[in-house]
Structure 1
Amino acid sequence: MKLAILGSGMIVHDFLSMVEQLPDIELKAIVGTERSQEKLANLQKDYQIEQRFTDFNACLAESQIDTVYVALPNHLHYEYAKKALMHGKHVICEKPFTLSLDQFLELKEIALAKELVLVEAITNQYLANYREIKTGLADLGEIKIIECNYSQYSSRYDAFKEGTILPAFNPKMGGGALMDINIYNIHFAIGLLGKPQEVQYVANIEKGIDTSGVLIMNYPDTKVVCIGAKDSTSAIRSTIQGNQGAIVVNGATNVIDSFDKQLKGATSQSVDVKVHAHRMFEEFKEFTRMIAEHDMVAVKTQLIHSQSVMEVLVQALDYAGIALG
């Protein structure tokens, strides 16, 4: 993978901290604004990135670059992912894919028509501990309840309360608890059960944005509750309850550091089969493989999953009366 990184925020720093352990990824470029030049220059130096650009079009003109990692604020994902696809580049897009289903479907159509890899960077779908949960789900019998709680007081919430609206709480920029933090819970549940029959989202709304909320997904025999909060804090964990046992995930659904499995009549078992300490390692290893092998079957499978998540997000926002963008 000959990669151009679009952005210089926290997620980019997180990615770059482990990328040297993926030797098949070549850091060809980093792209940002004129205001971020000092930050870009430091990242370029620290991680030996070949080029830096403030002009995205100039970056896209580089034939040696085959993939763009869109790690920008949510409201910019669609515009920049589309431009990269139109220039024949594979695209790895941070979550949430886009702010609307129509935007997602357009990107999907372009990518498939051009036989380009288009994937959402959503860590939990690629983690070994998550795959282990999926493999052993049948051991729990009939799944009755799934509850995911990812509640973490945001350092930006105090500023928001005082009137400073940063991207994380800006509806025009695709902010809010659902899109920023609860989305991991949604991916977690849909990856296990598929698309639900019915969606409800009951949210605490301030200044037009959800600062916390409870999403309910209804399946024929299973009820799923996803809690996400940026205005309050609680123990971060998830539970999967079946009539033959339960699984308790320790920590956030974007990390799945380990989990406990308790089957009826058996001793609780602690499970941790992760292959790397960094949560982004496994997803980028798989993205590299997809691109190297041009595995469009895997791409289409992941796009189906991402589309289900996008449909749930749109239904949830509509239910709560929240308008983004």
Structure 2
Amino acid sequence: MPRSHHPGLATHPGPPQPVPYRDGDAALTYGRQTVSGPHCSSGGEVRHVYPDAMELGGQRRSGAGFGIMGGIIGLLGFSGALLAAYFIFTSLTKKLIISELFFLFVFLIAVFIFLCAAVAAFRLDLFSYRDEPILFNRASRKLHIFRRRFKWTRPFSRWPVVIDSYDWDCVRGEVKGGAVLMGTVPTTRFQLYLAIADRPGSDTIIDRVPVGGPSLGKDHFQPLWEHIRQYMEADGPPLQAGDSLSRHTQFSHRMAWSADFSFLDPDYKNQVPSRFDRIFFTTLSLLAFPFTFWMGLFTWLSQLSGRDPWWPDDVLAAAGGPPLSEPAALALRPAVPPAGPAG
């Protein structure tokens, strides 16, 4: 089987139901054949480098802040239902009416539901992990996925951490697109996924895992996929020449705010090469600031209160031990070839 659940953590409910793969589901599909055209690049997505593994970021940071928003909505519903139940109860103390007794029962149920929803939503953002990374171990040809299982039906119980493991031979890359708002302008944002089949060469996908951050261009991910492929199959380096470790590894106030105000990102110029586009999107973001400030604040609070992900001892041992220091990781980059003489 391509999947193995890590022992000693949460009990997994079982493998996901297989989803038949359709070419139309993905904008692009990457196999594991050698690609000679595009260059390799980690794209700043490598969080840590280990002696026998590299760790890439997931998509957890992209959804930060929405749980706080949902929690506030849940609290508003809780307050309204509680207030309605109070007024009905006070009227019942004067005269017992069967219909009002029924509505009191309904609103008390609503109070409980809204309270549970608010607690679960706040826990999702304020007491969770900053990222859900993926560990690529080329020594064992395995990838390990850090996940926290959210149990919405149990808002007051412990939410376990699950480490899912898959064979590299069952993995291929997919790029999927979806409509999002960039400031106040609707656009299409793409994301690289690792599609895991039930066996090597199969088209039956049992899991899809986002890797790295989103992009406005679907062709942006080919260098990252080739970097992963060469690392796992061709003894490629964990970082390419000129690459650096992810800026999302450690908490940063500026990077937390840049999730909703992209012009604050230090790499904004490279992300939006066109000067006109940068001016256009920055102007729109500033005009919409009074309306979008709260979402930026929620994202910042989510990142500020989040915890760093971790790996079990045996997963770390299989990776060769703890992560290398940043200078040691950067020292593994291949040398930049000298520029040839000008034509």
TM-score normalised to structure 2 length = 0.24
TM-score normalised to structure 1 length = 0.25
